[in-house]
Amino acid sequence: MPDWLASRLPDGWTGWHLAAATVAFAVASAVVSLVAVGYVLTRLPADYFVNPAARRPIDRHPVLKLVLVVVRNLFGWFLIALGVLLSLPGVPGQGVLTILMGVMLIDFPGKHRAERWLLTRRGVLAGVNALRARAGRPPLEVQRAEDPSAGSSSAL
């Protein structure tokens, strides 16, 4: 182990202690990330992607709403920075998943379109809906169902 690294470890720690701590941190961060993403996906309204009213935030006092938006965006940017750090070689953790969690929290133009695009990738929607079914929630709708009473407007 390099001397510069050994000097920064707690007294008595060896390379094996560092490896065990690294693996424990990687497993813990993966579990926390998966639980957090699963919780968010099961709490979304089923029509979140097809009904703009479902995406509107809950009516709260304007000051509280502003504070929550600022805190949510700051936490999102923190997660993105942490994810970039975790994506570096030799650093344990789920970098890409952490970046995605941060992106889900921040506000930017085209965010909804990007979320919908990601959800419609092969296997993603099926996995998300299977998770929602286990939680007793209805499947997510990604396109508005056709109105059967409207009929076809084209004449043959």
pLDDT digits (tens, 9 = 90+) for 62-102: 888 889 889 989 999 998 898 888 888 877 667 777 787 78
Q: What is the Cα–Cα distance from 81 to 103, expressed in whole angstroms?
A: 11
C-alpha closest to that of 112 among 101, 122, 103: 103
The residue-averaged pLDDT of 39-48 equals 85
Q: What is the Cα–Cα distance from 83 to 141, expressed in whole angstroms?
A: 29
Distance of CA 88 to the CA centre of its chain: 20
36 — pLDDT class (breaks 50, 70, 90): confident
Q: What is the Cα–Cα distance from 95 to 83, expressed in whole angstroms?
A: 4
Cα angle 144, 35, 90 (rounded to 5 degrees) comes to: 115
55 — pLDDT class (breaks 50, 70, 90): low
pLDDT reported for residue 150: 42
Q: Identify the residue with better confidence: 112 or 97.
A: 112
The residue-averaged pLDDT of 55-64 equals 76
